[in-house]
Structure 1
């Protein structure tokens, strides 16, 4: 098998949040392959630690992927503040004798440096077209943990574990490795909190992550972190506003200052996304469909909603509202040009992470979350068949079957985009229902 087949069989997907099947990315030929080590979401600490602890494995996985897509250059993007990690990576690149192919470039400490279109621009100077993807400008982007999983796939180890940061208003911030399918509540209790009645949990980073409606879920390949905050924290209250509430507030107070647009990362890259126009359309019930289409260019980074607006309004919600309306009518934005140039004002409008963290009320929680060995052995794991972009995996096991850790339990449907899934513990299959394959240990 070639690397693409190996990665597909191992169930490797984008570990940075979206969950796009990695083998589909490796099917393209590219000039650049980029490693996204920015980890720009406040409080999350997975990628920076993986690059320190598993530098050789990540470099080898990244190199293999780069060679496979015929890239002429491989670039690791990491924030310049992580000086120790940068030093380790450069030392190991030299020791592994891959310096003619792989280099490390330092990123500014801004949000959202990890947005893949921002990353492409910072590392190559190229602008991904509106509504486009990096391959359109000759780039393939991989997350640090994804590169690590590519290496493990090459030595016949499929994806069965996930690295997760637990952070926030908690006694103990830490980063752990747990089996996929572990009950999330078991992971959250590693924070030192037992009773979550007065807490809310954000699934992912504090900017883009949603508040979990309940804590009954299970760890999947896309989870990156859980941020635990008291229910009365500003960020929880802000994220708890419904779309209807956001619309009412937006209509009452927007002064069209256009700060939401002037600080928008995609607007600064030269795209036409302009959230202040969506606020205007909402406030005055404008019905010009052509002007509403630009809402589809929003990447939902939440900067406009959680930082830019001086009145604390909800421009992203306005974008989401019009996105939904356009989707109902099956209307899609079509760019009127193929080449884009970043706006000259961009360099003066980048948002420093420290300012963002302070604005979010997270300053006192912005501390290390060290990688910690934990003895977490769930009796039951619930492995989702739908933890990736594409079609759900189709079970290849039956109730009553005994499976070994690493054994494939779900395959990609014929002719579909998807990802395989594997047993994360050894034991008996006790249920296959509601998009889960359930395994009992032992």
Structure 2
């Protein structure tokens, strides 16, 4: 039964790769706040879900922390003003997603005063209901800071029986990214307190903080903070093996519990909920201080950065402003990546702004970007199968997607692919496997939405037909009733007299 509880002992997971970390270079300096940029570009959608209604207008002055978009259901997360100033425009602006595309953004010109709106912390969260905490986090614009940007309220809310543990994921599996490590070094108490708040919201009894086995300094900081908070009974700190991608949600669960999240299942099915350590710290800020999610730590690093470091950046800050704060570019930068080199997204422009999910800006030069190799036919070597942490058959999925047989790819569990890039990294034929999987999943999503729209249209059509049939029957019933009345002389005379009276009244008016 102990294996059902995370953190009692450490397990492994299938596949994965041992990678060079390259993290120390960005951790030599403390986290710093960059100067205020001239403009902030706040995307109106920074989470998995839909945008809320924009509640500000160009020319309007706004206070720091004021809502820019309205909250809706759990998948409509509000955005807030990172600093006080004037709304200059609401327009499309370069964005990381879709790659090379744009997103609607609110352009803010800061006034330098950084004047807060009224803040409303949640008093006495230890005795608050889970629903009250979740609602508070939702109003604060909380979404996951681990990169997926899944709405925090949607993850916490629901009738999940038997949630016993909240896992705080501090295992940064991608090379170069060090924002979570620096957060745990500098704000360990806030990470733990935020974890306890999330556990209270989920009705969980314990918090398990997972870090990489190389993070000895972080472990010491967390243990000291746990002791200061008198939380040793219900907060565990566990080191997992440093094997990419141990920071994946399903992988960290398997490493801590020895159990796999079932296909088409959720972590909640195993009694756990996973949050990034950054999400925990910002949840603490929202509940204890009444601060909405308007800033995050971003690692600015790579051989193409003069002074790699971690910066506490306001949401909406252009990446080029962060690069300038980190000493500017060094050498000939040939590739700029949001995230890490394995699963990150190539940026078409450094004018793209920081969002809630922006964890790293990685600048690579010619020395790190190998020339594009020609794609060769698959030789069935099986290397991709060996390293796949999701136990998939990458070469089979590749062939099915190449043949546009998407439904069959789904039968081979394509949606379970976490797009970690391990398969592509070891492929001797240089096949861009992850690109195929992304395309296949996009196509499955499109087809699912098409089916949903078709089903909705069918329901609307059937409802309309039912309404027309009912109205027709009601008209026929009324006509039949009038005809029956006319067959009876006394009732017919009453009908005639009533019609005469109506005509007289109408004539008078």
SS at match of 2:448: coil
Structure 2 spans left out of the alignment, 5+ residues: 1-121, 123-131, 451-509
| Residue matched to 2:352 | 217
Which of 252, 259, 264 is residue 119 of structure 1 equivalent to? 252
How far residue 196 of structure 1 moved from its aligned partner, in angstroms, is 8.5
TM-score, normalisation: structure 2: 0.58
Instruction: Return the alpha-carbon distance in structure 2 between the equivalents of residues 122 and 264 of structure 1.
Output: 15
Instruction: Return the alpha-carbon distance in structure 1 between the equivalents of residues 350 and 404 of structure 2.
Output: 40
1:80-229 map, 5 Å: 80-154=213-287, 155-169=289-303, 170-194=305-329, 198-229=333-364
Instruction: Return the alpha-carbon distance in structure 2 between the equivalents of residues 168 and 261 of structure 1.
Output: 30
Cα 1:171–1:287 change in 2 (3 A) is closer
Q: Does the CA contact (< 8 Å) of 2:333 and 2:363 recur in 1? A: no
Structure 1 spans left out of the alignment, 5+ residues: 268-272, 333-442
How far residue 14 of structure 1 moved from its aligned partner, in angstroms, is 0.3
Instruction: Return the alpha-carbon distance in structure 2 between the equivalents of residues 44 and 25 of structure 1.
Output: 25
Instruction: Return the alpha-carbon distance in structure 2 between the equivalents of residues 291 and 221 of structure 1.
Output: 32
How far residue 310 of structure 1 moved from its aligned partner, in angstroms, is 3.1
Q: Does the CA contact (< 8 Å) of 2:332 and 2:365 recur in 1? A: no
| Residue matched to 1:261 | 385
How far residue 326 of structure 1 moved from its aligned partner, in angstroms, is 3.5
SS at match of 1:11: coil
2:174 aligned with 1:36, yes or no?
no
Q: Does the CA contact (< 8 Å) of 1:74 and 1:101 recur in 2? A: yes
SS at match of 1:118: helix
Cα 1:291–1:193 change in 2 (3 A) is closer
Instruction: Return the alpha-carbon distance in structure 1 between the equivalents of residues 237 and 405 of structure 2.
Output: 48
How far residue 216 of structure 1 moved from its aligned partner, in angstroms, is 1.9
Cα 1:311–1:58 change in 2 (3 A) is same
2:421 aligned with 1:302, yes or no?
yes
How far residue 25 of structure 1 moved from its aligned partner, in angstroms, is 1.9
Instruction: Return the alpha-carbon distance in structure 1 between the equivalents of residues 401 and 138 of structure 2.
Output: 44
1:289-328 map, 5 Å: 289-291=407-409, 293-294=411-412, 295-306=414-425, 308-328=426-446
How far residue 92 of structure 1 moved from its aligned partner, in angstroms, is 1.8
Q: Does the CA contact (< 8 Å) of 1:260 and 1:315 recur in 2? A: no
How far residue 111 of structure 1 moved from its aligned partner, in angstroms, is 0.2
How far residue 69 of structure 1 moved from its aligned partner, in angstroms, is 1.1
1:410-421 map, 5 Å: none
Instruction: Indicate the structure (1 or 2) with the bigger Cα radius of gyration.
Output: 2
Instruction: Return the alpha-carbon distance in structure 2 between the equivalents of residues 286 and 17 of structure 1.
Output: 29
SS at match of 2:434: helix
Deviation digits for residues 71-104 of structure 1, max 9, x if unmatched?
1321100011111110121122122111111100
SS at match of 1:290: helix
Instruction: Return the alpha-carbon distance in structure 1 between the equivalents of residues 446 and 292 of structure 2.
Output: 39
Question: Deviating runs (4+, > 6 A) in structure 1?
Answer: none
2:197 aligned with 1:64, yes or no?
yes
Deviation digits for residues 379-406 of structure 1, max 9, x if unmatched?
xxxxxxxxxxxxxxxxxxxxxxxxxxxx
How far residue 253 of structure 1 moved from its aligned partner, in angstroms, is 2.2
Cα 1:84–1:256 change in 2 (3 A) is same
1:313-352 map, 5 Å: 313-330=431-448
How far residue 328 of structure 1 moved from its aligned partner, in angstroms, is 4.3
Cα 1:26–1:51 change in 2 (3 A) is same
Q: Does the CA contact (< 8 Å) of 2:306 and 2:330 recur in 1? A: no
* Aligned-residue CA RMSD (Å): 2.4
Deviation digits for residues 382-431 of structure 1, max 9, x if unmatched?
xxxxxxxxxxxxxxxxxxxxxxxxxxxxxxxxxxxxxxxxxxxxxxxxxx
Instruction: Return the alpha-carbon distance in structure 1 between the equivalents of residues 209 and 417 of structure 2.
Output: 26
Which of 115, 139, 150 is residue 9 of structure 1 equivalent to? 139
Instruction: Return the alpha-carbon distance in structure 1 between the equivalents of residues 399 and 387 of structure 2.
Output: 17
Q: Does the CA contact (< 8 Å) of 1:55 and 1:89 recur in 2? A: yes
